[in-house]
Amino acid sequence: MAEGKLATCLWFAGDAEAAARLYCGLFADSTINRIDRAPTDYPGGKAGDVLTVNFTVLGQPFMALNGKAANDFTDAVSFQVFTETQDETDRYWDVLTGDGGAEMACSWCRDRFGVRWQIVPRVLMEALGHPDPVVQGRVFGAMQAMVKIDHATIEAAVAGG
């Protein structure tokens, strides 16, 4: 039984458990809570196949559903993960873009399942909200030139470099 009042459901074409395990292994405060399997054969699969995986990522509830056919994820929905250090940014980025994932632009990437992520350093968010519009402009320009965000480059843009 799901807890709380809201959870995000992600539709996968047979990779629900693998996706949940990747996310739970990568992010803190994450766990697989329950795996539901088909009790009998059904038109899309066999008895014992994984139907749904209820899991938590960074304290947020999710359900991964194995659907009959692929439903492509798009840029219309993404998950923002805020980071404190370059090492944290690099670790998340490397795992999510590895094994068939892809880099996109301005902190966006796609994992091997097609799910879109934004790995966003807090230093970037703070700098984009700087009270000086000239600093904001430098930071925005620096960000637009990046794929994965480089903390030191953002800090240099704030400082005037």
63 and 76, same domain (yes or no) = no
Contact status, residue 36 vs residue 52, Cβ threshold 8 Å: yes
Q: Would you state the structure tokens that stand for residue 90, as one six-digit string? A: 């690099």
Domain encompassing residue 20: 1-69
20 and 79, same domain (yes or no) = no
Higher pLDDT, 67 or 161: 67
The residues pairing with 35 across neighbouring beta strands, listed in sequence order, are: 53
How confident is the model over 87-110, as a mean pLDDT?
Answer: 98
80 and 101, same domain (yes or no) = yes
| Tens of pLDDT, residues 29-66 | 999 999 999 999 988 789 999 999 999 999 999 999 99
CA atoms of 57 and 42, how far apart (whole Å)? 30
Q: Would you state the structure tokens that stand for residue 158, as one six-digit string? A: 């704030």
Contact status, residue 65 vs residue 51, Cβ threshold 8 Å: yes
Mean pLDDT estimate for the chain: 95
91 and 131, same domain (yes or no) = yes
Residue 1 has pLDDT above 70, yes or no: no
How confident is the model over 107-133, as a mean pLDDT?
Answer: 97
104 and 52, same domain (yes or no) = no
β-strand 31-37 against 78-83: which pairing, if any? unpaired
Q: Total structural domains in the chain?
A: 2
Contact status, residue 113 vs residue 12, Cβ threshold 8 Å: yes
Residue 123 has pLDDT above 70, yes or no: yes
81 backbone dihedrals φ, ψ, rounded to 5°: -120, 120
* CATH code, domain carrying 48: 3.10.180.10
Q: What is the pTM of this model?
A: 0.92
Sheet containing 78-83: order of strands: 78-83, 116-121, 108-110, 102-103
Residue 69: its pLDDT value, please? 76
How confident is the model over 110-123, as a mean pLDDT?
Answer: 98
131 and 83, same domain (yes or no) = yes
Structural domain ending residue among the three candidates 28, 45, 69: 69
Contact status, residue 53 vs residue 20, Cβ threshold 8 Å: yes
Residue 104, classed as helix, strand or coil, is coil
117 and 51, same domain (yes or no) = no
